[in-house]
Chain A
């Protein structure tokens, strides 16, 4: 099973400069996928989730174009071949 993770440019440096990562998650949920991302790129993992595992407040994650906050959150199913986008929300000043 392989999933493509799409990163914003500001996070790409934490993945060796890659904006697209092909990741093989250990399971079928978004949590499994993000665990696999963090195992390969620990600092990138910390930017997306805090140490309790929650996706940070101003980080949005889309699985095949759907915002996971309105899906199953970290339990959202991630299929083989899915595209998972990580995007900063509109926030700040």
Chain B
């Protein structure tokens, strides 16, 4: 069994492998050197795993590339895998998310992009079509960009139904019940301290994760606030009590252990560093009712932060947890966050990590 960890950074992609159940890692790369890799995914539904990367050439614009030989060679659609139709008058600014759908839809891959847009591929990510239902939503002109830009950054297809959930900064959570045709905001209960009244939409939701035991139960790390819904986003309640701070970017849930999720608290939006400079993960085992600080092996005196996609879990048993920092360090845990080992340091700032177990 090989565990693969894809590390997207400001200046390239690194691929780390572990052959000993995620305890030690060998880092390969850089691949795509000097290109920003803000989105990465490992699609294990294919005969050969496909690494997809959303890249930014800096001078030469954004694109999607893929490798079917774990970084040996890279391919790119001549026309651009994500390419706004002419009638939109829009141009792709950045690919923020690449999300393979479920095993039941093996060729479907989703992309979340800036400007706020959702894209669907039916050929494994080689070409994407704009999801018009969200692009044409009457709310879209009033969605604001977050500090990093206005983008769909979270895509959660339901494996059992046609339901799709997305989150964006700063538009909030939207749900489609019908395979991404119709969309409705689902933000009731999520705070938006930067707006005068609790809005129907416009929240700056940083990341959303789905519980392992119930697809209607989701967790959200918001721009101030950590929330849970038990009804598919119909209403959200705070689960921030017990955390040292309710600000942060990532949130992840175990794909196999119901009620288990992790966050990485930062002091506040005006102070985006770990409390007391101690980089730690906080874990819940009871769907956010209580939280426990974990993360032996994570550093003290770490005045850095963890971006929304620089944190992920794998589908191992126990669940593996991965943390990438803006000062170029990557840590891995094979025991659901109890202990971490250093995978790599001195990398460019880490923008995205994704892990997969290869057959």
Whether A52 contacts B91 by the Cβ 8 Å rule is: yes
CB closest chain-A residue, reference B57 = A47
> Using an 8 Å CB-CB cutoff, how does the interface string of B185-201 with A read, 1 for contact, 0 for none?
00000000000000000
Whether A50 contacts B92 by the Cβ 8 Å rule is: yes
B79 — which chain A residues lie within 8 A by C-beta? Answer: 42, 46
A51 — which chain B residues lie within 8 A by C-beta? Answer: 80, 83-84, 86, 90-92
Within 8 A of A (CB), among B29-78: 57-61, 63, 76, 78
A73 — which chain B residues lie within 8 A by C-beta? Answer: none
Whether B60 contacts A52 by the Cβ 8 Å rule is: no
Q: A46 is contacted by which of B58, B80, B90 (Cβ under 8 Å)?
A: B80
Whether B58 contacts A58 by the Cβ 8 Å rule is: yes
Whether B59 contacts A91 by the Cβ 8 Å rule is: yes
| B147 in the interface (beta carbon within 8 A) | no
Q: Please classify how large the interface on chain B is, using the bins under 10, 10 to 19, 20 to 34, 35 or more.
A: 10 to 19
Q: A50 is contacted by which of B61, B76, B78 (Cβ under 8 Å)?
A: B61
User: In the complex, how many angstroms separate the beta carbon of A20 from the nearest chain B beta carbon?
Assistant: 19
| B138 in the interface (beta carbon within 8 A) | no
Whether A52 contacts B90 by the Cβ 8 Å rule is: yes
B86 — which chain A residues lie within 8 A by C-beta? Answer: 51-52
| A1 in the interface (beta carbon within 8 A) | no
Known A-B contacts A51-B84, A51-B91, A54-B91; the reply to A42 vs B78 at CB < 8 A is yes
Q: A88 is contacted by which of B59, B80, B83, B92 (Cβ under 8 Å)?
A: B59
CB closest chain-B residue, reference A52 = B91
Q: Considering only CB atoms and an 8 Å cut-off, how many residues of chain A contact the other chain?
A: 17
User: In the complex, how many angstroms separate the beta carbon of B183 from the nearest chain A beta carbon?
Assistant: 24
CB closest chain-A residue, reference B89 = A52
User: In the complex, how many angstroms separate the beta carbon of B89 from the nearest chain A beta carbon?
Assistant: 6
Whether B59 contacts A92 by the Cβ 8 Å rule is: yes
Within 8 A of B (CB), among A10-66: 11, 42-43, 46-48, 50-52, 54, 56, 58-59
CB closest chain-A residue, reference B93 = A50
A91 — which chain B residues lie within 8 A by C-beta? Answer: 58-59
Q: Which of A47, A50, A88 has the largest count of B CB atoms less than 10 A from its CB? A: A50
CB closest chain-A residue, reference B60 = A47
CB closest chain-B residue, reference A59 = B59
Known A-B contacts A54-B91, A56-B60, A88-B59; the reply to A43 vs B76 at CB < 8 A is yes
Whether A50 contacts B58 by the Cβ 8 Å rule is: no
User: In the complex, how many angstroms separate the beta carbon of B241 from the nearest chain A beta carbon?
Assistant: 40
Known A-B contacts A51-B80, A51-B83, A51-B84; the reply to A46 vs B61 at CB < 8 A is yes
B89 — which chain A residues lie within 8 A by C-beta? Answer: 52
CB closest chain-B residue, reference A58 = B59
B61 — which chain A residues lie within 8 A by C-beta? Answer: 46-47, 50, 56
User: In the complex, how many angstroms separate the beta carbon of B236 from the nearest chain A beta carbon?
Assistant: 36
Bound: A79/B76 CA distance, A: 34
B63 — which chain A residues lie within 8 A by C-beta? Answer: 46
User: In the complex, how many angstroms separate the beta carbon of B359 from the nearest chain A beta carbon?
Assistant: 33
Bound: A92/B36 CA distance, A: 11
Bound: A52/B89 CA distance, A: 6
User: In the complex, how many angstroms separate the beta carbon of A16 from the nearest chain B beta carbon?
Assistant: 13
User: In the complex, how many angstroms separate the beta carbon of B184 from the nearest chain A beta carbon?
Assistant: 29
CB closest chain-B residue, reference A60 = B59
Whether A50 contacts B60 by the Cβ 8 Å rule is: no
A47 — which chain B residues lie within 8 A by C-beta? Answer: 57, 59-61
> Using an 8 Å CB-CB cutoff, how does the interface string of A61-93 with B read, 1 for contact, 0 for none?
000000000000000000000000000110110
Bound: A92/B58 CA distance, A: 7
Bound: A47/B60 CA distance, A: 4
Bound: A51/B78 CA distance, A: 12
Contacts A51-B84, A52-B91 aside, 4 further interface pairs with beta carbons under 8 A come to A47-B61, A50-B61, A59-B59, A88-B60
B60 — which chain A residues lie within 8 A by C-beta? Answer: 11, 46-48, 56, 59, 88
Q: Which of A47, A51, A54 has the largest count of B CB atoms less than 10 A from its CB? A: A51
